[in-house]
Amino acid sequence: MKPALKDFVIGNPFYRWYFVRLNGEKSLPEGQTIADVHKRFLKRILLDDHDLNSFMINKTVTHTRSTKDTQVEDVIQLKVEAGDFSSINIELKEMVEKFWNHGSKSVSIEWVEKESSSSFEKDGIFSFLLNLEVGRRSWVNTGTGTVNLVQPTRIGSIAHEFGHVLGFVDNYHTTWNAQTCKYSFESLPSDIMSESFGGKVSDTHWKELEERYPVVTP
């Protein structure tokens, strides 16, 4: 790794996950070796970042299309467990759906309770968890299927994390600047998967959702 890239990576909170594990400061995810973490890290760096294959299909999604009058309506429905947020699940559903709805296209959350014998690997159902650790940012663990929200959390971050539940990856770019000989971290302020503060859901997101989740005809 070029020294400039190494400096950039170490100084960037986005990649810290890998470093604390590679340095042995935190235990490895169950069943994983250092080599696995290394591989994931390199893949992440090399992705840089827009690898289409990095979309993660949510297997609870069904995509239906209907026509009302002359209007075509698309609904992406998925199962989620409200977990720690079950007492405000109605409000949470409303907020997230409102953020992701786009014209005649809408997202519909179906709250379910996971069976105790089930696992994310089996059912693909994400669960919302409240994370009370101080100084953390909200994040989604796509390995265990948890949406970890810190407090306080803005609606933009919840909508961003929900984007991961739908399958999107973060849309950040690592760019080499030849003039300053440095890597920099760039984001697109208008994109919810890039900037949770002020970012929005756009045609591009919905185009991807439609491609990833083909319409099911009843």
- CB of 170 or CB of 191, closer to Zn ion: 170
- CB of 195 or CB of 210, closer to Zn ion: 195
H helix or E strand, kind and range, residue 176? strand 172-177
- CB of 3 or CB of 13, closer to Zn ion: 13
Q: Say how many residues touch Zn ion, by CB under 5 A.
A: 1
- CB of 19 or CB of 139, closer to Zn ion: 139
Smallest distance from Zn ion to CB 160, Å:
6
Indicate the residue whose CB is closest to Zn ion: 170
Tell how strand 146-150 and strand 126-131 pair up. parallel
Smallest distance from Zn ion to CB 94, Å:
22
Smallest distance from Zn ion to CB 180, Å:
27
Smallest distance from Zn ion to CB 192, Å:
10
Does 191 engage in binding with Zn ion (CB under 5 A)? no
Please say whether the beta carbons of 162 and 119 come within 8 A. Answer: no
Return the structure tokens found at 94. 């409303």
Q: Which of 174, 167, 162, 165 is nearest to 199 (CA)?
A: 162
Smallest distance from Zn ion to CB 156, Å:
11
52-111 residues near Zn ion, rule: CB under 5 A: none
121-180 residues near Zn ion, rule: CB under 5 A: 170
Q: How many CB atoms lie within 10 A of CB 177?
A: 11
Smallest distance from Zn ion to CB 164, Å:
6
- CB of 74 or CB of 196, closer to Zn ion: 196
The residue whose two tokens read 């720690």 is: 84
- CB of 12 or CB of 62, closer to Zn ion: 12
Site for Zn ion, rule CB under 5 A? 170
